[in-house]
Structure 1
Amino acid sequence: MTNLQRDILTGLTFVTGVIGFISGEFIISSALFAATTFASNINVNRKNHDN
């Protein structure tokens, strides 16, 4: 998976979490926010180790 695909997937997960939060699905949106944070941290750590 390329960096662009990872960024798009992370962004879509975040937007889905926001929409879920607005519609009142707090448990699902919390899980999506956690997944987004986890994926974002993995991407940052991989970029730091590549340099």
Structure 2
Amino acid sequence: MNQLHKDIVTGLVFVTGVIEFISGDFIISSALFAATTFASNMSSSRKNRKN
């Protein structure tokens, strides 16, 4: 998966987390925010290793 697809998926998971948070599903939204953070940190750490 290239970088654009990863960014799109990360963004969609984040937006889904916000929607779940607004609807009151706090456990699901917390898990989605954690997944988004993890995916974002993994891609930034890989960028730092290449430089």
TM-score normalized by the length of structure 2? 0.96
**Counterpart in the other structure of 1:29:** 29
Runs of 4+ off more than 6 Å: none
User: Unpaired runs of 5+ in structure 2?
Assistant: none
Structure 2 partner of 1:50:
50
Task: Give the aligned length.
Answer: 51
The whole-number CA distance in structure 2 between the counterparts of 1:50 and 1:5 is 20
Residue type of the alignment partner of 2:34: A
Shift in Å at residue 26 of structure 1? 0.4
DSSP-derived class of the 1:35 partner? helix
Q: Deviations over 1:1-51 (max 9, x none)?
A: 100011101000000000000000000000000000000000000111112
TM-score (norm 1): 0.96
